[in-house]
Amino acid sequence: MADRRRPTWIRWAVDAVPAFAFLVVLLATRDFRLATWWLVGGSTLALVTGLLVERRLAPLPAVMGGMALVFGGLSLLLHRNDILQMKMTIVDAALGAVLFGGLLLKKNPLKLLLGGAFHLTDRAWTVLAVRYALFWWVCAAANEFIRRTQTAETWAIFRVVAVALAIVFAVAQTPFLMKHGGLGAAPPPDPPEPGF
């Protein structure tokens, strides 16, 4: 059991590194562009480390890390800080929409993604998907509010807090998974917003 949990905790720690690096560099230098370079480098390192540790790229961290590279790269290329700041709004809103859209079509993308790890009833999968979709939408709305009303430094602090809250949210699903017989020896699902 310890071996199965270790990669998850390593992944959570590695995925948080880009956000922390971005925050530290931004607070130290007040240079958003330099901090973005650190974010892009940290995201690349997180993806490579995840690949080396697990010998595969987990789907959600791969998508999130890839999006950090895309939005960070575009922000650097176009000299626009707001492009990077919009990443969480766009990606989280889209993920929530995919989950709700899948449920409307009688499909459950979360079950397709995690079905092999957990054995839940269809109703339990639906509840879990709704929880994750709502969490993603709340994160997207909060990001949009913070990026439009606060300084870049406050936004960067919010992003690190969002990473911590995502981990807390994922762990908070453990009682639900245990109640519905889905956890067993498996670790709780990945946080909904790992990484930057």
pLDDT in tens, the chain (196 residues): 344 444 555 556 666 778 888 889 999 999 999 999 998 888 888 788 777 877 776 666 677 778 888 999 999 999 999 999 999 999 899 999 999 999 999 988 888 877 667 788 889 899 999 999 999 999 999 999 999 999 999 999 998 899 889 889 988 988 888 888 765 545 555 555 544 5
Q: Which residue type is seen at 164?
A: A
Residue 147 falls within a domain, yes or no?
Answer: yes
Crossing angle of helices 81-104 and 59-78, in 10° steps, is: 150
Residue 151 falls within a domain, yes or no?
Answer: yes
The answer to whether the Cα torsion of 173, 175, 181, 183 is positive or negative is positive
Residue 190 falls within a domain, yes or no?
Answer: no
Q: Tokens 């650097």 correspond to what residue?
A: 76
Domain that holds residue 119: 2-179
Contact by Cβ (8 Å): 47, 60: no
Residue 185 falls within a domain, yes or no?
Answer: no
Overall pTM surpassing 0.75 (yes/no): yes
Give the number of domains in the chain. Answer: 1
CA distance 45 to 63: 14
Q: Tokens 């071996």 correspond to what residue?
A: 3
Residue 149 falls within a domain, yes or no?
Answer: yes
CA distance 186 to 170: 13
Residue 63 falls within a domain, yes or no?
Answer: yes
Would you state the pLDDT for residue 167? 85
Residue 184 falls within a domain, yes or no?
Answer: no
Residue 106 falls within a domain, yes or no?
Answer: yes
Backbone angles phi, psi at 142, to 5 degrees: -65, -40
Backbone angles phi, psi at 74, to 5 degrees: -65, -40
